[in-house]
Amino acid sequence: MHSPHMSPPDLESPPRPPEHRHRLAVLSIGVPALCSVLLLILVGAEWRPLTGVDGDIARTTHRWAVDEPGLTQTARVLTNWVWDPWTMRLLAGAVALLLVFRYAARWTAVWLVVTCAVGTALQQVLKAAVGRARPVWANPVDSAHYAAFPSGHAMTATVVLGLLLWLLHRHGVSRAVWVWAATVAALSVAGVGLTRVWLGVHWATDVLGGWLFGALVVAVAVRVHRRRHP
């Protein structure tokens, strides 16, 4: 018989059932996929309410950019050097090398590099398919090439930083490191989008499209990784 003074045994939280995990996985992919496709259709159809909002935002931010040359120069430095797609790809490459030589995680390193390449390819296919023109100004403060939708800067930053954040979470870093990394990633993803609109080289929905398609690529990649390494 148990003593009346004995404390009951600790009970562990029951694991999530497979159905619950499957539902979360479907939502994590389905929501960004639905939002991405809807935005793609509206942009491709040149839906007037959407293009009207884009135009209003672009004219306002361009006026501010012309009036604030100091902020505009800061935006150029950030978008061309700190948050440039090639900076993001180099960061992903460095992490891939770390995974190979420090952790012997060759499959994860290849997964990271391939996902970034797939994100870049998808971005270029979408740009060619939509063929959206960039904003045109009589007094531009910056320039960019290729079609506008989606923003390559926004999509690349979302893919790379999203994947790296998930890897940090998977490897169980401390709470302080996680909060710091998540804050830097969020500010970078938001900041690169804002600089592209501020410099007048993208419409606001180009940036939104970059964020959405980037989130979709990350969600699918995470699902693939979990199936390979549950």
Residue 59 banded pLDDT, cuts 50, 70, 90:
very high
Of 151, 181, 177, 147, nearest in space to 164 by CA:
181
pLDDT of residue 2: 45
pLDDT of residue 230: 74
Tell me the mean pLDDT in the region 121-129.
97
Q: Residue 107: pLDDT above 90? A: yes
Per the model's pLDDT, the better-predicted residue between 222 and 22 turns out to be: 222
- Contact by Cβ (8 Å): 176, 118: no
pLDDT single digits (tens) 154-178:
999 999 999 999 999 998 889 999 9
Per the model's pLDDT, the better-predicted residue between 171 and 217 turns out to be: 217
Of 186, 215, 227, nearest in space to 115 by CA:
215
User: What is the average pLDDT score of the chain?
Assistant: 91
- The pTM score is 0.90
Q: What is the three-state SS of 81-93?
A: HHCCHHHHHHHHH
- Contact by Cβ (8 Å): 202, 148: yes
Three-state secondary-structure class, residue 6 = coil
pLDDT of residue 16: 55
Residue 144 banded pLDDT, cuts 50, 70, 90:
very high
- Contact by Cβ (8 Å): 58, 203: yes
- Contact by Cβ (8 Å): 202, 135: yes
Pair of tokens at residue 88: 């993001």
Amino acid found at 197: V
Phi/psi for 142 (5° steps) reads -160, 175
DSSP, residue by residue, 20-71: HHHHHHHHHHHHHHHHHHHHHHHHHTT-HHHHHHHHHHHHHHHHHHHH-HHH
